[in-house]
Amino acid sequence: MTDSRKTKTTEPRGEPPKPRRVSRQREAGEATRRETRRRLLAAAKAEFAERGYAAATVIRIAERADMSVQTLYSNWGNKRNLLRAVMESSVTGEPPAVITATLDPADAAHPVRVLAHLSHQYRLLAERAAVGWQTYRDGAGVDPDIAADWQQLSDLRRQAFHAFFARLPAEALRPGLTNAVAADTAWVIASPDVHDLLVCQAGYSYDQLEEWVGDTLGAALLGGTERH
């Protein structure tokens, strides 16, 4: 006699499907692409530092990275994109943004310490971004798109300074000085132009740059009793 009952195969319910693993081949490909972009970026930074934006060529950048020009175009598109990437890789944050994240809360109530910290963060940024600053300044003279990028970066810096100084108590500032004017003053003093004048042209060390910026900010922004 044949058993007419059918055996049903049951599948576990309520269990999410197992995520598919990325193949080793794909992982290797992504790692290779990251390394290719890193080498091209490092080559571009060296080329811009040596020749400036106008004289730099994608051919020499590719040769420095031991890559083909087509590989450069495939990964970065053009020379302008490489310049933007050089700047972005150097700048992790403008001083007013960094200072709020790294300032010791115990120092936040002391204007002199705040400005000293701001000066130090500016110095660190200048050391990282000097090549990008100079290259953007040079490129702005020959490429209107780069000029627009440079203006946008300058505007963002100014907005960041205003956002930071808006939170400082007015009594910490020199009498008659508004928070907005204080922000613009700091924006000018801790700027790429000052780095160019003092470090590139006058031969200041970065220690001297930091000291000058700190002293100048204190003298320009703080009342006599706040400087000590």
pLDDT digit string, tens, across residues 195-228 = 999 999 999 999 999 999 999 999 999 976 555 5
Contact 48, 135 (CB under 8 A): yes
pLDDT digit string, tens, across residues 129-169 = 888 888 888 888 889 999 998 898 888 889 888 988 887 88
The label of the residue with tokens 């930091």 reads: 210
Reduced to 3 states, what is the DSSP secondary structure of residue 222? strand
Ramachandran class of 53: left when φ > 0, alpha when ψ lies in -120 to 50, beta otherwise: alpha
